Amino acid sequence: MSFVTYEAKDLIGIVTINREKALNALNTQVLNDLEEVIDGVDYDTIRCLIITGAGKKSFVAGADIGEMAEDTKAEGKEFCEHGNRVFRKIETLPIPVIAAINGFALGGGCELSMACDIRIASDNAVFGQPEVGLGITPGFGGTQRLMRRIPVGKAKEMIYASINIKAEEALKWGLINAIYPQDELLPAAEKLANRIAAQAPIAVRAAKAAMNEGIDVPMDEAIQVEVKHFSDCFETADQKEGMKAFMEKRKHEPFQN
């Protein structure tokens, strides 16, 4: 049995972490299942992914504390590297990924959401990196991504003092883009995913690659990243058709993959 389910809906895919009785906590099997599902997506067809958690209470309540409790240093390192490898894979997927955060996003759950391109949340969502209260640091990218998503001082406050924040505050700091009532979260995620899927797909992929490749490099290098991805678009049929349609004041033909 897999702890991660996948549903393809036309041009978008929905990945659900499904270990509800442990609030979708990530143990080794969940990480393996997540990677298997991510690897199995048909990226020739699917143009946007949504990642969410099963149930109405939790997105992911963290890495599995029970599994880590007796770990040696070497085992802790292995688990840390495992989660980081899977999350980095998600972050660098060719297509955009939306985290639909339906409740607790703590520790590894907050970290999973931060590996996604876009985060939207339900009104009961709670975010935090409470690891120092367990005697560890965040270990699935939290020490690095939180301060890249929100102001460094706020990230340090949350991590050093183990402070969880509710959806409203996460919105204020820009950690999430929007808040929805629980029942409206997934429909909103699907609406956004479908809007992304309706754009020129090669251009969307190029825009994601350009932003990902450019974010941590000096500006002169970052601009060269953009120059490359921008100019590559001129070899696509979508660019020819998209611009021709605009000039002819008509709707463009369906974009190609």
User: Does 125 participate in binding ligand HXC (rule CB under 6 A)?
Assistant: no
Tell me if residue 248 is catalytic: no
Contacts with 190 (C-beta within 8 Å, 6 or more apart), sequence order: 9, 12, 14, 50
- Our answer to whether residue 131 is catalytic in this structure is yes
Q: Which of 48, 52, 57 is closest to 9 using CA atoms?
A: 48
Name residues contacting ligand HXC, limited to 21-60 (CB under 6 A). 22-23, 25
Q: Residue 222, CB half-sphere, CA atoms under 13 Å: how many? A: 9
**Is residue 62 involved in binding ligand HXC (CB under 6 A)?**
yes
- Is residue 58 a contact partner of residue 121, using CB atoms and an 8 Å limit? no
Task: Report which of 143, 142, 70, 151 is spatially closest to residue 110, judged by C-alpha positions.
Answer: 142
> Where in 72-111 is the site for ligand HXC (CB under 6 A)?
79-80, 83, 104, 106-108
Sequence letter at residue 138? P
Residue whose token pair is 């699935």: 140
In angstroms, give the least distance from the CB of 174 to ligand HXC: 22
Stretch that binds ligand HXC, among 34-42, 135-143, 199-207, 240-248 (CB under 6 A): 135-143
Catalytic-labelled residue, pool 70, 75, 91, 111? 111
Based on the shown chain and the rule CB under 6 A, indicate whether residue 201 belongs to the binding site for ligand HXC: no
- Which residues in the chain belong to E strands, given as ranges? 4-9, 12-17, 48-53, 58-60, 97-101, 104-106, 118-122, 126-128, 165-166, 178-180
141 binds ligand HXC (CB under 6 A): no
Q: How far is the CB of 156 from ligand HXC (least distance, A)?
A: 17
140 binds ligand HXC (CB under 6 A): yes
Residues classed as catalytic? 111, 131
The residues that touch ligand HXC, with contacts defined as CB under 6 A, are: 22-23, 25, 61-66, 79-80, 83, 104, 106-108, 130-131, 134, 138-140
